[in-house]
């Protein structure tokens, strides 16, 4: 029997369907890895080994349900699960049991996935970090807010995981931890059953170790036919965009992006420097207004009954800003964001994808700071699909990544370009 942890999700699914690997053996291998590494990494908020193995045995006892049949997955603790506690990263909801699975979890289960447990999130996917450490160096952050999911996938504890993104909460931790993170176009994956932060920005994200596994996971949770990935026959047109925060990029981040652009151009890609359209210049301001105005209203149940249990930073920053904002300011931000989206759609049509940074550089030292979202938030606000790939290591040995971004609803094209880029950069960015 092959070692389950060495297999891609696609290969593991084939082995399970052929009867050469059991779902129980795959789940056992993941749970054993978790038992060995969890004291160091701290990726999980909830685990029930017996329940996970029982679910895996149930998959072994039935005909394949779908493309994820028997595949272990992790669910960010911002996302509802009916059979497991969902705490949203807050003491307010410790032990909370939702009445139903979130739609994305139900879709994954319908495709045959085995949910191992819930991974750590920051408080309500905002600022306050959880216990998770970077699996490559526990003195460094894994990023936020999908910290547990990124760390668990990167450390080999589970092959697939759900995250979410309102600013940079899927792309950034995936880059810091060294796995593949994907944020689809806004509205593509249903958000029912996911704790809301900002309704105009919140997006379900997913993580895996390869682009091919992202493609399989994405098809399953979209309930669309899965087509095995085929390498594009022609090299892509890539727009190299350093963005408005290039001065905030660390030396290792700049070097990783420039090296990737050079290598991809050498492999045949057309790489051309480009700048965001002027309509995107106020993106940071719009992001803050949208997030704070909507965040205040979405946190009203907690404010009304449990304000003392909210972190000081959440109360004094995001919620305090939300209280000061007028409806006119919110509407102006909505109009500005809509104008930026229209301009960006036209701008990016010149390219198959934009090549940019997913984070300023390596994961910061310490666990309190989950890193900066300045290289993520604008793309989220523009509703564009984003994907980060490993692209080497920093001088400190920590992962570095590059980010690919495409037109809204050009997700399939983005994934094809990412497949080509992954092949040229090599797994983990090695040559």
By the 8 A CB rule, do 355 and 257 touch? yes
Distance CA 206, CA 97 (A): 23
By the 8 A CB rule, do 276 and 243 touch? yes
């997700």: which residue's tokens? 411
118 is catalytic: no
By the 8 A CB rule, do 191 and 209 touch? no
The H or E element spanning position 353 is strand 353-356
What domains, with CATH codes, occur in the chain?
4-222 (3.90.1300.10)
Catalytic: which of 90, 145, 147, 185?
145
Give residue 430's pLDDT: 35
By the 8 A CB rule, do 387 and 179 touch? no
| Tally of CB atoms within 10 A around 308 | 7
Catalytic: which of 22, 169, 200, 292?
169
Give residue 427's pLDDT: 56
Going residue by residue through the chain (431 aa), what tens digit of pLDDT does each one get?
678 999 999 999 999 999 999 999 999 999 999 999 999 999 999 999 999 999 999 999 999 999 999 999 999 999 999 999 999 999 999 999 999 999 999 999 999 999 999 999 999 999 999 999 999 999 999 999 999 999 999 999 999 999 999 999 999 999 999 999 999 999 999 999 999 999 999 999 999 999 999 999 999 999 999 988 889 999 999 999 999 999 999 999 999 999 999 999 999 999 999 999 999 999 999 999 999 999 999 999 999 999 999 999 999 999 999 999 999 999 999 999 999 999 999 999 999 999 999 999 999 999 999 999 999 999 999 999 999 999 999 999 999 999 999 999 999 999 999 999 999 998 543 32
Give residue 26's pLDDT: 98
| Tally of CB atoms within 10 A around 352 | 24
318 is catalytic: no
Taking the mean position of all CA atoms in its chain, how far away is CA 154?
12
Burial 93-115, CB ≥16 within 10 A → b, else e: beeeebeebbbbbbbbbebbbbb
Among candidate residues 226, 230, 229, the one with its CA nearest the CA of residue 64: 226
The H or E element spanning position 16 is helix 9-17
311 is catalytic: no
């Amino acid at each position: 029997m092959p070692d389950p942890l060495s297999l891609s999700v696609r290969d593991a699914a084939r082995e399970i369907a052929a009867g050469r690997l059991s779902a129980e053996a795959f789940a056992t291998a993941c749970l054993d890895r978790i038992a060995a590494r969890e004291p160091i990494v701290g990726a999980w908020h909830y685990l029930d080994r017996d329940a996970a193995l029982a679910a895996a045995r149930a998959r072994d006892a039935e005909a394949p349900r779908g493309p994820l049949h028997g595949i272990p997955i992790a669910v960010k603790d911002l996302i509802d699960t009916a059979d497991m506690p969902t705490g949203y990263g807050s003491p307010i909801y410790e032990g909370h049991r939702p009445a139903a699975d979130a739609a994305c979890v139900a879709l994954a289960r319908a495709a045959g996935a085995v949910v191992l447990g819930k991974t750590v999130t920051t408080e309500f996917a905002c600022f306050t970090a959880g216990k998770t450490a970077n699996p490559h160096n526990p003195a460094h952050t894994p990023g936020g807010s999908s910290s547990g999911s990124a760390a668990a996938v990167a450390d080999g504890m589970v092959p697939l995981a759900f995250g979410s993104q309102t600013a940079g909460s899927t792309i950034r931790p995936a880059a810091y931890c060294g796995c593949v993170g994907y944020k689809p176009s806004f509205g593509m994956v249903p958000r029912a059953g996911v704790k809301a932060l900002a309704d105009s920005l919140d997006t379900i994200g997913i993580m895996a170790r390869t682009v091919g596994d992202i493609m399989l996971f994405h098809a399953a949770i979209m309930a669309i036919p899965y087509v095995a990935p085929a390498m594009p026959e022609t090299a892509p047109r890539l727009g190299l965009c350093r963005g408005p925060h290039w001065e905030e990029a660390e030396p290792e981040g700049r070097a990783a992006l420039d090296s990737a652009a050079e290598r991809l151009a050498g492999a045949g890609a057309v790489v051309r420097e480009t700048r965001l359209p002027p309509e995107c210049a106020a993106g940071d301001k719009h992001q803050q207004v949208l997030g704070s105005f909507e965040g205040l209203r979405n946190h009203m149940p907690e404010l009304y009954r449990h304000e003392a249990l909210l972190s000081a930073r959440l109360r004094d920053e995001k919620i305090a800003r939300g209280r000061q904002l007028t409806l006119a300011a919110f509407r102006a931000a909505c109009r500005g964001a809509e104008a930026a989206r229209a301009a960006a759609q036209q701008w990016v049509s010149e390219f198959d994808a934009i090549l940019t940074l997913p984070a300023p550089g390596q994961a910061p030292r310490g666990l309190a700071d989950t890193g900066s979202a300045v290289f993520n938030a604008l793309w989220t606000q523009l509703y564009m699909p984003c994907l980060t790939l490993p692209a080497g290591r920093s001088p400190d040995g920590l992962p570095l990544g590059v980010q690919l971004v495409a037109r809204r609803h050009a997700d399939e094209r983005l994934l094809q370009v990412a497949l080509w880029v992954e092949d040229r950069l090599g797994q983990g960015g090695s040559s």
